[in-house]
Amino acid sequence: MAAADTDAKLYTLQEVSEHNNSKDCWLIIGGKVYDVTRFLEDHPGGDEVLLSATGKDATDDFEDVGHSTSARGMMEEYYVGKVDPSSFPSKPTYTPAKQAAYNPDKSSDFFMKLLQFLVPLGILALAVAVRYFTKSN
């Protein structure tokens, strides 16, 4: 049954997943829903592979096999509708952990510079004072 894309019946992923056994076997390939129940016995790749992918998106499995053009032509016979893309769980997006912007503490930087200047000055003042007092004694 080949329906035009515009009036194709729309199924949710949930609905498709309910047809998941050898008596009622649906799967999704390329966003389209196929009822392959009556094809199970005739599938050259065997029924097991179809049953392992039933009720799910089998696009990757289907493409991995590298099905022939004639296999792709056969698919039309089992087409029942399209899958509602909004029913797919949204992919988790990776958001890197927020890192605090590099913000060196300017006030402590200034304090260190002041200290580097004052400490030698203090030592010098101390040396001068010691010399001054030892001289007068």
Contact call for residues 61 and 34 (beta carbons, < 8 A): no
Among 8, 40, 56, 75, binds ligand HEM (CB under 6 A): 75
Strands in 20-21's sheet, in edge-to-edge order, are 10-11, 79-83, 32-35, 24-29, 20-21
**Which residue number, 11 or 34, has a Cβ lying nearer to ligand HEM?**
34
Sequence letter at residue 13: L
Site size for ligand HEM (CB under 6 A): 20
Q: Token pair 């019946």 is at which residue?
A: 9
Stretch (H or E) spanning 112: helix 106-136
Shortest Cβ 56–ligand HEM spacing (Å): 9
40: contact with ligand HEM by CB under 6 A? no
| Range in contact with ligand HEM (rule: CB under 6 A) among 3-11, 39-47, 99-107, 118-126 | 39-47
Residue with smallest beta-carbon separation from ligand HEM: 45
Of 78, 65, 81, the C-alpha closest to 32 is: 81
Q: Which residues bind ligand HEM (CB under 6 A)?
A: 27, 34, 36, 43-45, 49-50, 53, 58, 61-62, 65, 67-68, 70-71, 74-75, 78
